[in-house]
Amino acid sequence: MTEKLIRGNEEFVNRMLQEDPDYFSRLRQGQNPEIFLLACCDSRVSPSIITGMPPGNMFVHRNIANQALETDPAFTASLHFALKNLKVKQIIVKGHTGCGGIAAAREEKVDPEMEGWIREVRNSLPDPEAQPDLTPDELSRLNVLHQVKRLKEHPVYREHGWGVKVDGILFHLESGRLELLT
């Protein structure tokens, strides 16, 4: 597996140098992304790949089911750095269809190591007894919208995010397309 990663990296380096011989020199000088992207850590939804964005264009934070939790120190630090230090111009919350985190939130039992996180995902979703007919993909859509709301209420955003637009998008695994939700 490691050899496959190294071969892929060689192809990437060769392609980038062919397109722009100074690419890596500029990349080394620092990052100046315009977008902070909160995304799920599912291996099928790599933000840079599905958007065609090369390194340096997005500052990305990933976690299960793209949660914007005030209680998550890693997310809070990423948001703070993106807004205060990088001065991003836009924040995007990206969810996706077929999300395992959303599916797990509807399960009665999950692994103990996952319980705390999945509880937070559950809290982002409508009560299954009140809306039992919602499909997992509809729940993914609602989750993105809820995370957009949470993000706008986050103390770091409230302090440093004035004028920074927040959007929600949904990646459709079945078509490869992005859908703007906000």
Binding residues for Zn(2+): 40, 42, 96, 99
Q: Which two tokens stand for residue 132?
A: 């039992």
d(CA 107, CA 122): 10
Binding residues: 40, 42, 96, 99
d(CA 125, CA 23): 43
Q: Which two tokens stand for residue 157?
A: 């955003």
d(CA 174, CA 50): 13
Tell me how far CA of residue 155 lies from CA of 52, 61, 150, 166, in angstroms: 31, 17, 10, 15
Which amino acid is it at 103?
A: A
